[in-house]
Structure 1
Amino acid sequence: MTDLPGAGVSAPVSSSPVAQLSLRRNIVYAMVGRGYYAITQFLIIAITARLGSVSDVGALTLATALVTPLFFFTSMGAKTVMTVDDFDRFTRADYVGLRFAGGLIALVASMLTVALIYPDRGWLVIASVAGVALVRFFGAQAALNQAIFQRAERLDYVAASIFTRATAGLAAFALAFWWSRDLPLALFCEAALWFASYWLVDTRLLARLGMEIPLAILRQTTLRRIWALTLWVLPMGFALWLMRAVGSIPPVMLEHYAGLGAVGLFGALAYAHTLMSMVSNAMAGAAAARLRRCAREGRMAAFQSLTRKMMLFSGGLGLGALAVAWVIGAPLLGLVFGPDYADRELFTVIVGASGLALVAATLNTAITALHAFGWRVAVAGASFLAGLAVALALVPTHGALGGGVAFLASSAVSLVMSWGACRLLISRAKRV
């Protein structure tokens, strides 16, 4: 693709007056921020399980399973691609426009989806979908700001943004749910506080980098440029949709075959994957810009070394979590969620699958840094098909455990495919 007119409207973040941090400090800040966010989202699940019913947890899990893939698709991986973009074709304004327009489309698509698929599920499911969609919309806008902070190699700004938003959202959800026992109302309150923290904190952090606030920068782009960016990153958007859809297969099928109670059990235990992936992805996000710089400069030995270190960290995290799940999984689940959730076998399968997925995600970060978006689609597509096939075979007869095995199968395929793709791409890059 040739350079488009106006590509120099928004200067790269590296020209900001704020000094960069070292990679080690950035990784620490990223892990602290994402780890804290994971804890707050885990507490939302725990609060819902303790103060509400298994059906409440099921409704929250089902809503998340429906909404999240839509937002991942319509965002087109804007955050991920922007972090590794050389800014020689598109500008920050183009990415902001894509993320904002995509968020609005995902909001509408979420409500249409629940209206078409679950018209008879009542207020709990429909309103929960609306609440989760609003939370995801404001989160999507904040995520693009975090990409700007990552490009500037200021992950302390990312941590500050996450800490404020996660704390405010958790407090709003907990107070509203404790007072009303109404899940949709609690989600709407969480969304309102996410918007407030986005406006009050992120805009000030952007100002420190010499950036305009997101709504103001929209005047620097056009629909033509946003569409051109959309076509470029479409493979990444499709890959991310497939990747998130893999996690949505078990809840959607469980709701059909076993009801919201089974969805609630699976969703509570599957949040272990969310906790683990947020910590691992924080490290990958902090290193993404550095990986792209190595690839652009032809320093493939450094590229391989950093990728290998991330893989070892993710693999170690997965093995440690697997040991915890097997040894003390049942009492831990009973303590946190209640006796209805103390299923060690299912928990161990989910955590084992998550460990494989973490290593695969690290390799996918390397593939993205090499701008091989087509390979991301191939990996995600194979993983999706594997998960779908196993879920169709096992969920009707084995319930939640069948869903866990489907997640394990998709994670294994993703790891094998991403490892092969990464080796091939690095080998090609060395020959150039």
Structure 2
Amino acid sequence: MVFAVTQFAILILVARLGTPQDVGALTLASAIVTPLFFLTSMGMRDAHSVDDLVSYSRADYVALRLAGGSFALLATAAIALGLYGQDGFLVYGSAIALALVKFSGAQMALNHGMFQRAERLDFTAISNAMRGGMGLAAFGLVFWYTRALPLALLCEALAWVASYVLVDRPLLGRIGARTSWAELSRAQARTVLRLAYWILPLGLSGWCLRAALAAPPLILERHAGLAAVGLFGVLAYGHSAMLMVANSLGGAVAPRLRKYYRNGRRAPFLRTVGLMSLVCGGFGAGMVAVAWLAGDPLLELVFGVDYRRGDLLTIVIFASALSVTSAPLVAAMNAGQAFRKRLLVTASGLAAAAVVSVLLIPSYGIAGAAWSMVALTATHATLYAALFVFVLRAMPPPLPKDAPDASEGR
């Protein structure tokens, strides 16, 4: 939640100190960069936290993480220059700088999977709070003095690298999970590629999810311009912030769910998923009530009168509430290592969001973009609920009382 607040503060700074075009450039940059990094990160944080580490080692994950992040950096530069090279430095410069931020974030996300695996969620909290705070300080100071969005993002990336070195590495050392260059050099390409193939459905699933969220602003920019994208980006950040909270809750409980699932402990597995669903559902309902009752004054207070669209915010937060409520089901599917079933869900959501965006945005503008998010999350929630039954049926039988737990691996 602290990290979500720092990212929200960056958006406020851009909206207050910059122009709607700056907010639009940041939104477009995110639409280009985020799906690529979700694809190349391949959900490694989730996979590592539920992997028994019998077939793959921690060094294999780190090697794959570095290779995937490097590819995403190069792909971002090519796509940004190809699509927006003629539109000025603001958009493509911001995209490349944001890719450097995401590259650092991808390395830290895997660290969080290691912390979650050790059930040291306090370490995850420290890491998130420090990188968010250091990144906000660097971005805010530079943007305050220069009003140059690409430069401010570049400085945020440098702050995240500093946080990785000064905070994450010592914490990894405390749980014995620091990977040395010697270990990394011994990682075999064949094993890393096999790991990539195993978790590729998670990467494709993440890409489908972020591509579905990227489709509305990309289509909106063609029909309504960069300023409209900026307004939609402000409204849609509420969705991103709620997803951060939901993903944190799901990631926190995933290693424990994996233990229950692996050992056939159906009752605690169901109880944990049920309680998490109630917590997430209550959180989502509360946020919808806030958006409905106080959306207009809150948007005006935080971003300014140009962003006063509480009606659209309510639609976006309703979509977010559906996504948050289904987050424990995603954690349960990860615990069952049902990665290909997740891909089916997110691919269906991408199709739904794309169709609704193409049909509604040309006529209804930002409202059409907001309803495309409802189509996306409603599709996800429905399919996750249906597929949860299949995952539950595939749970192995309970272990005998005197049997040891499965290997914790390397």
Query: Could you state the TM-score of these two structures normalised by the residue count of structure 1?
Result: 0.90
User: Partner residue of 2:221?
Assistant: 255
Q: Report how far residue 311 of structure 1 moved.
A: 1.1
Q: SS state of the match for residue 395, structure 2?
A: helix
Deviations 1:59-99 (A, max 9, x none): 00110111000001011111110010011110100000011
- The one of 386, 389, 403 equivalent to 1:420 is 386
User: Partner residue of 1:288?
Assistant: 254
User: Partner residue of 1:344?
Assistant: 310
Identical positions, percent: 46
User: Partner residue of 1:87?
Assistant: 53
Aligned pairs (5 A) from 1:321-336: 321-336=287-302
Alignment-mate amino acid for residue 24 of structure 2: G
Change (3 A) 1:333 1:215: farther
User: Are the counterparts in 2 of residues 96 and 214 from structure 1 also a CA contact under 8 Å?
Assistant: no
RMSD: 1.2
Q: Distance in 2 between matches of 1:233 and 1:130?
A: 26
User: Are the counterparts in 2 of residues 360 and 415 from structure 1 also a CA contact under 8 Å?
Assistant: yes
Change (3 A) 1:273 1:71: same
Alignment-mate amino acid for residue 269 of structure 1: L
Change (3 A) 1:208 1:120: same
Q: Is the counterpart of residue 110 in structure 1 residue 76 in structure 2? A: yes
User: Are the counterparts in 2 of residues 353 and 412 from structure 1 also a CA contact under 8 Å?
Assistant: yes
Alignment-mate amino acid for residue 101 of structure 2: V
User: Are the counterparts in 1 of residues 20 and 226 from structure 2 also a CA contact under 8 Å?
Assistant: yes
Alignment-mate amino acid for residue 103 of structure 1: G
More displaced stretch, 114-123 vs 408-417: 114-123
More displaced stretch, 171-180 vs 218-227: 218-227
| Unaligned stretches of 5+ residues in structure 2 | 399-410
- The one of 224, 231, 236 equivalent to 1:270 is 236
User: Are the counterparts in 1 of residues 26 and 94 from structure 2 also a CA contact under 8 Å?
Assistant: yes
Q: Distance in 2 between matches of 1:248 and 1:69?
A: 8
Aligned pairs (5 A) from 1:6-405: 35-213=1-179, 215-405=181-371
Q: Report how far residue 214 of structure 1 moved.
A: 5.6
User: Are the counterparts in 2 of residues 269 and 350 from structure 1 also a CA contact under 8 Å?
Assistant: yes
Q: Report how far residue 245 of structure 1 moved.
A: 1.1
Deviations 1:243-287 (A, max 9, x none): 111111111111111111111001011111122121222111110
User: Are the counterparts in 1 of residues 80 and 96 from structure 2 also a CA contact under 8 Å?
Assistant: no
Deviations 1:279-313 (A, max 9, x none): 22211111000000000000012111111111111
Q: Report how far residue 424 of structure 1 moved.
A: 2.1
Alignment-mate amino acid for residue 368 of structure 2: G
User: Partner residue of 2:405?
Assistant: none
More displaced stretch, 277-286 vs 40-49: 277-286
Alignment-mate amino acid for residue 63 of structure 1: A
| Unaligned stretches of 5+ residues in structure 1 | 1-34
Q: SS state of the match for residue 371, structure 1?
A: coil
Q: Report how far residue 210 of structure 1 moved.
A: 2.2
User: Partner residue of 1:28?
Assistant: none
Q: Distance in 2 between matches of 1:114 and 1:408?
A: 28
User: Are the counterparts in 2 of residues 326 and 344 from structure 1 also a CA contact under 8 Å?
Assistant: yes
Q: Report how far residue 211 of structure 1 moved.
A: 3.0
Q: SS state of the match for residue 394, structure 2?
A: helix
Q: State how many pairs are aligned.
A: 398
Q: Distance in 2 between matches of 1:285 and 1:397?
A: 39
Q: Distance in 2 between matches of 1:359 and 1:225?
A: 36
More displaced stretch, 118-127 vs 38-47: 118-127
Q: Distance in 1 between matches of 2:182 and 2:367?
A: 49
User: Are the counterparts in 1 of residues 205 and 347 from structure 2 also a CA contact under 8 Å?
Assistant: yes
Q: Distance in 2 between matches of 1:223 and 1:428?
A: 32
Q: Report how far residue 216 of structure 1 moved.
A: 4.8
User: Partner residue of 2:404?
Assistant: none
Q: SS state of the match for residue 153, structure 1?
A: coil
Alignment-mate amino acid for residue 74 of structure 2: V
Q: Distance in 2 between matches of 1:374 and 1:39?
A: 33
Q: Report how far residue 153 of structure 1 moved.
A: 0.6
Alignment-mate amino acid for residue 286 of structure 1: A
User: Are the counterparts in 1 of residues 250 and 330 from structure 2 also a CA contact under 8 Å?
Assistant: no
Change (3 A) 1:214 1:273: farther
Q: Distance in 2 between matches of 1:109 and 1:83?
A: 28
Q: Report how far residue 120 of structure 1 moved.
A: 1.6
Q: Report how far residue 196 of structure 1 moved.
A: 0.7
Change (3 A) 1:216 1:200: farther
Q: Report how far residue 215 of structure 1 moved.
A: 4.4
Q: Distance in 1 between matches of 2:220 and 2:180?
A: 40
Q: Report how far residue 329 of structure 1 moved.
A: 0.2
Alignment-mate amino acid for residue 123 of structure 2: Y
Alignment-mate amino acid for residue 190 of structure 1: E
Q: Distance in 2 between matches of 1:320 and 1:221?
A: 47
